[in-house]
């Protein structure tokens, strides 16, 4: 309640992007000392029943930070203290780029949603590599993923080179990689979900992955049933480790707010569509590859529903902005209490339990 009544109104006085960067900077500084230890203790909710081994990695709980929240790994101490089971940084491109013109993030408070048209602004591969190396030294047991994409100026036919450069440049530092082919804010990027392009890209990445780090693919929520099936066939044929479902949507269905802003919609209105995509992916793949469910999760009930649909892990982004820093503990606590009520001994028993 303190966050919603005091801190959130103060943050919302500034434009969304400025407030976001300020919060990351202050939060990281706050967590570098004794305050960080206090926050870690306050946010922690550890139970053996919540631990999992997914694509060869140990997750202390199923709730992760979605890509885009900390693009350049500037606040790993903050997010480690908030109780996440894993963190996904990025989206990163081989060289830094400014992204689309500002303003490019818009709050929709009545919908607990955001619209963004960021266009992958980031400081580039080398800066991320250095920060990730430092974060790994401070948090050796944390699970870190990196989301990467093509540069805005890279032509679609040469996009694979950007992904390969990121994969090879971060070898040994990231625990898993997420191939972003689904952002609506980079020209032609979503064309990489076309079967021939996606298959070629994934096979190329798989062949240049000497440490055999898990590679996942992040898909759009706006794919047609045929497009989704074709994309998943490419993932299965390429022996991809997992699927992240979903990215932001271009749909404005269900919004209370009237808006003409272009970009990808995230937050509560995305949840039904993301949930449906997770169900479809689980059905099409018959559980052959793990799914990370993301899109509009803002409560324990949402996470439980996503896992019952077939997700092994979940991620939050917009929910953290509207619900505050103790959301992760609350989600994990709610999942655990639900498992106790249902007589479930492990998370695997919750997955797919429709």
The residues that are catalytic are: 183
Count the helix, strand and coil residues of the chain and give each as a percent rounded to the nearest 5: 45, 20, 40
Residues 6+ apart with CB under 8 A from 201: 159, 160, 163, 179, 181, 192
Residue of 183, 146, 151 whose CA lies nearest to 65: 146
What's the CA gap between 152 and 255, in Å, rounded?
A: 29
CB 55 within 8 A of CB 32: no
**By CB neighbour count within 10 A (0-12 exposed, 13-18 middle, 19+ buried), where does 255 fall?**
middle
Residues in the chain, total: 354
Paired with 65 in beta bridges are 87, 316
CB 266 within 8 A of CB 320: no
């Amino acid at each position: 309640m303190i966050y919603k009544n005091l801190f959130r109104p103060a943050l919302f006085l500034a434009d969304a992007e400025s407030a976001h960067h300020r919060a990351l900077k202050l939060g990281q500084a706050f967590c570098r000392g004794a305050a960080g230890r206090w926050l870690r203790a306050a946010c922690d909710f550890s139970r053996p029943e919540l631990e999992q081994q997914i694509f060869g990695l140990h997750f202390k709980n199923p709730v992760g930070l979605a890509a885009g929240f900390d693009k350049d790994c500037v606040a790993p101490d903050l997010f480690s203290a908030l109780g996440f089971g894993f963190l996904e940084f990025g989206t990163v491109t081989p060289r830094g780029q400014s992204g689309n013109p500002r303003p490019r993030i818009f709050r929709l408070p009545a919908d607990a949603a955001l619209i963004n048209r960021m266009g992958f602004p980031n400081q580039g591969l080398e800066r991320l590599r250095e920060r990730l190396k430092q974060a790994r030294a401070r948090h050796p047991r944390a699970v870190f993923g990196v989301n990467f994409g093509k540069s805005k100026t890279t032509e679609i036919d040469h996009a694979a080179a950007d992904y390969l450069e990121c994969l090879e440049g971060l070898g040994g530092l990231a625990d898993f990689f997420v191939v972003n082919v689904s952002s609506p804010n980079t020209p032609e990027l979503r064309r990489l979900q076309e079967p021939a392009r996606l298959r070629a890209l994934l096979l190329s990445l798989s062949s240049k992955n000497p440490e055999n780090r898990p590679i996942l693919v992040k898909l759009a929520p706006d794919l047609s049933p045929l497009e989704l099936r074709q994309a998943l066939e490419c993932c299965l044929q390429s022996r991809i480790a997992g699927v992240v479902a979903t990215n932001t949507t271009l749909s404005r269905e269900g919004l209370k707010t009237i808006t003409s802003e272009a970009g990808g919609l995230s937050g509560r209105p995305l949840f039904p569509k993301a949930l449906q995509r997770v169900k479809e992916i689980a059905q099409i793949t018959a559980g052959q590859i793990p799914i990370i469910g993301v899109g509009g999760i803002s409560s324990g009930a949402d996470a439980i529903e996503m896992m019952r649909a077939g997700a092994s892990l979940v991620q939050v982004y917009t929910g953290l902005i509207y619900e505050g820093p103790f959301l992760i503990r609350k989600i994990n606590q709610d999942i655990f209490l639900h498992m106790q009520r249902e007589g479930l001994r492990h998370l695997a028993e919750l997955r797919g339990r429709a």
